[in-house]
């Protein structure tokens, strides 16, 4: 086979791309994964994985999550506070979450894909994609432009997906903006992923995640309310201190990114979209790593099942349940006010 012609090109090496590349390479396909970031590229994230992700990771990557990609504390419990305050909040029983160091975790996933036989190029930024009988992909690496082609293309290039924008230029892809700060703390933090539901912080929720001697705090906003994103983190910091939850010190990092917040789009001109590129992120919780791994797996399996035919219909069918779930949750989030948030927390804590 011509070295520049692949069975499958995967654009993006986050959880979605690494998953798709691993499954396809394990089955013997000749897979090229193009990742614009360098080794250990940074992704703004809380790094929270629900317990059930463990099983999915073992299924796709044939390995347990290694301890060196876990933060301190490695496991957390889910804790909710409703708009009425701490007095009505508490820990969700039987909740168990993994607390990962996201950059190390993603690098480990890409290494798994490589060990499965996929070719992984870091620092390879895709600049154009065209489809004429085959997918033709242009990327730039070390200042040099390269062309590669493939029968199959998976777009796993995240919430701002270039592949989606190239193949369906007019598609609307609304987003929720998420701001995060990493702040040193002088008190000992409980091993909680603490979600605080109150319209004064966020139409979604504000959260804290302990990371070693620091605390990650975050909050989400709609695109219309983007100017209130960082002020909302100031309000949330004040609340954490006033309620004697955290003694906040020096800020180590402040960053903003987005998660998809609209109807999923899972195919484009014969290409399969996975994870954030497809809009497959839980709009209620902001959880997207598990959905990216699962959609990457389903996309690769659809390609394998379809052999020489188009995988579009197989993938659409396989992903339909996840699309329905994200669409339904999206409607719930839009209709949420503080009364609904109060009811949500009280019913979750009563379970």
Ligand X SMILES: Cc1cc2nc3c(=O)[nH]c(=O)nc-3n(C[C@H](O)[C@H](O)[C@H](O)COP(=O)(O)OP(=O)(O)OC[C@H]3O[C@@H](n4cnc5c(N)ncnc54)[C@H](O)[C@@H]3O)c2cc1C
- Residues 272 to 291: which contact ligand X by CB under 6 A? 275-277, 281, 286-290
Smallest separation, CB 256 to ligand X (Å): 8
In the complex with ligand X, which residue's Cβ is closer, 163 or 303? 163
Q: Residue from 21, 24, 31, 48 that binds ligand X (CB under 6 A)?
A: 48
If one asks whether residue 118 binds ligand X (CB under 6 A), the answer comes out as no
In the complex with ligand X, which residue's Cβ is closer, 46 or 83? 46
- Residues 208 to 247: which contact ligand X by CB under 6 A? 218
- Residues 59 to 98: which contact ligand X by CB under 6 A? none
Smallest separation, CB 344 to ligand X (Å): 19
Closest-CA residue to 158 (of 314, 18, 56):
18
In the complex with ligand X, which residue's Cβ is closer, 49 or 248? 49
In the complex with ligand X, which residue's Cβ is closer, 29 or 258? 258
Site string for ligand X, 252-271 (x = CB under 6 A): -----xxx------------
Query: In the chain, what is the greatest distance between 2 CA atoms, to the nearest angstrom?
Result: 66
In the complex with ligand X, which residue's Cβ is closer, 257 or 344? 257
Q: What is the 3-state composition of the chain as percent helix, strand, coil, each rounded to the nearest 5?
A: 35, 30, 30
Q: Residue from 107, 116, 180, 208 that binds ligand X (CB under 6 A)?
A: 180
In the complex with ligand X, which residue's Cβ is closer, 45 or 322? 45
Residue 33 CB neighbour total at 10 angstroms: 29
135 and 32 Cβ atoms separated by less than 8 Å: no
Q: Residue from 5, 27, 30, 43 that binds ligand X (CB under 6 A)?
A: 43
Closest-CA residue to 279 (of 298, 299, 258, 297):
258
Give the burial class of 27: count Cβ atoms within 10 A of its Cβ; 0-12 exposed, 13-18 middle, 19 or more buried: middle
Buried b (16+ CB within 10 A) or exposed e, 125-164: ebeebeeeebbbbebeeeeeeeebbbbbbbbbbbbebbbb
If one asks whether residue 178 binds ligand X (CB under 6 A), the answer comes out as yes
Smallest separation, CB 87 to ligand X (Å): 26
Q: Residue from 9, 31, 154, 162 that binds ligand X (CB under 6 A)?
A: 162
Determine the interface stretch with ligand X among 39-47, 198-206, 238-246, 302-310 (rule: CB under 6 A): 39-47
Q: Residue from 7, 8, 16, 333 that binds ligand X (CB under 6 A)?
A: 16
C-alpha 262, offset from chain centre = 15
In the complex with ligand X, which residue's Cβ is closer, 35 or 192? 35
If one asks whether residue 183 binds ligand X (CB under 6 A), the answer comes out as no
Distance, CA of 300 to CA of 318 (rounded, Å): 11
**Contacts made by residues 201-208, CB under 8 angstroms, sequence distance 24+:** 201/232, 201/235, 201/236, 201/239, 202/232, 203/333, 203/336, 204/176, 204/284, 204/286, 204/333, 205/341, 206/232, 206/233, 206/236, 207/46, 208/240, 208/245, 208/246
Q: Could you tell me the two tokens for 5? A: 């012609």
In the complex with ligand X, which residue's Cβ is closer, 293 or 345? 293
Q: Which residues pair with 214 in a beta bridge?
A: 184, 211
Which residues make up the interface to ligand X (CB under 6 A)? 11-17, 34-37, 41, 43-48, 125-126, 156-158, 162, 178, 180, 218, 257-259, 275-277, 281, 286-290, 292
């Amino acid at each position: 086979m011509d070295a520049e012609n692949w069975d499958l090109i995967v654009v993006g090496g986050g959880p979605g791309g690494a998953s798709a590349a691993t499954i396809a390479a394990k089955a013997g396909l000749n897979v090229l994964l193009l990742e614009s970031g360098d080794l250990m590229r940074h992704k703004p994230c809380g790094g929270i994985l629900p317990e059930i992700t463990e099983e999915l990771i073992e299924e796709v990557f044939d390995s347990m999550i290694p301890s060196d990609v876990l933060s301190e504390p490695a496991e957390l419990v889910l804790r909710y506070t409703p708009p009425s305050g701490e007095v009505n909040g508490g820990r969700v029983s039987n909740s168990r979450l993994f607390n990962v160091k996201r950059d190390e975790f993603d690098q480990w996933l890409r290494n798994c894909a490589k060990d499965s036989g996929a070719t992984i190029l870091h620092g390879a930024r895709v600049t154009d994609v065209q489809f004429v009988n085959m997918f033709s992909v242009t990327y730039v690496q070390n200042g040099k432009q390269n062309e590669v082609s493939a029968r199959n293309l998976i777009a796993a290039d995240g919430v701002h997906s270039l592949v989606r924008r190239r193949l369906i230029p007019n598609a609307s892809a609304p987003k929720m903006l998420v701001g995060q700060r990493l702040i040193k703390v002088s008190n000992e933090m409980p091993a909680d992923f603490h979600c605080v539901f109150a319209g004064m912080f966020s139409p979604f929720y504000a959260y804290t995640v302990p990371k070693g001697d620091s605390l990650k705090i975050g909050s989400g906003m709609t695109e219309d309310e983007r100017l209130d994103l960082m002020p909302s983190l100031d309000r949330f910091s004040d609340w954490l201190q006033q309620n004697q939850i955290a003694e906040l010190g020096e800020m180590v990092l402040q960053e903003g990114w987005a998660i998809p917040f609209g109807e999923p789009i899972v195919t484009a001109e014969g290409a399969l979209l996975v994870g954030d590129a497809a809009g497959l992120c839980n709009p209620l919780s902001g959880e997207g790593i598990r959905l990216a791994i699962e959609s990457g797996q389903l996309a690769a399996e659809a390609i394998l099942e379809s052999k020489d035919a188009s995988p579009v219909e197989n993938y659409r069918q396989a992903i339909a349940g996840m699309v329905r779930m994200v669409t339904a949750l999206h409607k719930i989030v839009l209709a949420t006010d503080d009364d609904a948030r109060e009811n949500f927390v009280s019913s979750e804590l009563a379970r």
